[in-house]
Amino acid sequence: MNIRREDLSAIRGLGYADTEARFLYLVATHSGYFTQRQYLTFTDQSHGWRVKRLTTRTLTRRHARSTAYAHNTYVYNLYSRRIYDAIDKDNLRPRRRQSVEMIHTRLMILDFVLAHPHENYVETEADKIDYFTRQVGIPLRALPGRIYRGIKSAANTKRYFLDRFPLFLPASGNAFGLPPVVTFTYCDTPGTSLLAYRTHLRHYEPLLRRLPDFNFVFASAEPFKFDRARAFFTQTLGADTTLNAHRSLRYFPIRKLWDTQPAVDRTRADRNFLRDGLPLFPAPKDEAASLSFSEDPIRAPNSGFACPQTGTFHPYIQPESYPIFSTESSRDYRNRERDSARKRFSLSSSPAREP
């Protein structure tokens, strides 16, 4: 990882030592949150006064705020505009307090980066867009993004790669033994469910299918998930085009109906399916030819599928699972919805009064 000298100098100018500046740069760029243990890992120490000095400086200068979780463990949120402006990354600054789930994920991301500091990370949203659109030639519509609708105006803004999972080009002799192709990372939080991972992979599918080669690292503190995660990766992005064929059986009739009968109302599910399928099944230049796809979707041009033959799955064991969150208030945050439902339908709860 190459940190620009001017960025380190800017952070040092806010009253930090060189090692502290390097660590705060990584926090600001990749997570926005950190723990004392992570700074000790970064400095290769098990204890010492340095971590106390860093946290005291960030708090007294109002560059960070702290929250206590289980076992009297503090999590620090680097939120000050002065830090992010100093390194030209204000768009990464957390403008509001994040959910416990998000904080958990961000700490897992920082753990991964600290364990692999020598990789060539593509850091910001702008850098990632530039890499895929200008250098690789991927259309912007295929990149994973989200549309934000304006509150005071009708203008909409689309943001990309909001998950902030590490994206890098492996360095020579990297610890994974990865080939030098673009590498995606998913940092999983503990729990039995892989629903969030499945959703993430589907969200990235239009981009991944257009790449001739890539690595995908599934980073988790729970190795028992690896086989399931690999199976879903293979099912979603493997060389078998059966899944694409079945999806095309639904996609092309909806597309034909949309093109030929625009006045007909569509269900929300159909509209979402059509929108998500556009990057996977691009229409030919001759719009009339696209209508013929529905006659035999199995034999439709495969260029729209761009199914990768060499995308590879790599498991990685994270060093920490952060039980400070799962034991907070003696309740696992991942069961919050379940607990809420139990309370709502509890026989002991009082019924709502009639108005």
Q: Cα–Cα distance between 349 and 214 in angstroms, integer?
A: 53
What is the percentage of the chain residues whose pLDDT exceeds 90? 56
Q: Parse the chain into domains and list their residue ranges.
A: 5-97, 120-239+309-317, 242-304
Pairing of strands 215-220, 312-317: parallel
Q: Cβ contacts of residue 298 below 8 Å, gap of 6+?
A: 245, 248, 249
- Is the pLDDT at 285 greater than 70? The verdict is no
pLDDT tens-digit profile of 306-343?
A: 444 568 999 999 999 999 987 543 344 445 444 443 34
Q: Cβ contacts of residue 181 below 8 Å, gap of 6+?
A: 169, 170, 213, 214, 215
Q: Cβ contacts of residue 269 below 8 Å, gap of 6+?
A: none
Cα 37–Cα 39–Cα 40 angle in degrees, nearest 5: 65
CATH topology of domain 5-97: Arc Repressor Mutant, subunit A (1.10.10)
Q: Residue 354, class by beta-carbon neighbours within 10 Å (0-12 exposed, 13-18 middle, 19+ buried)?
A: exposed
Query: Running DSSP on this structure, what letter comes out for residue 76?
Result: E
On average, the pLDDT of the chain sits at 80
pLDDT tens-digit profile of 180-228?
A: 999 999 999 988 899 999 999 999 999 999 999 999 999 999 999 999 9
pLDDT tens-digit profile of 215-243?
A: 999 999 999 999 999 999 999 887 544 44
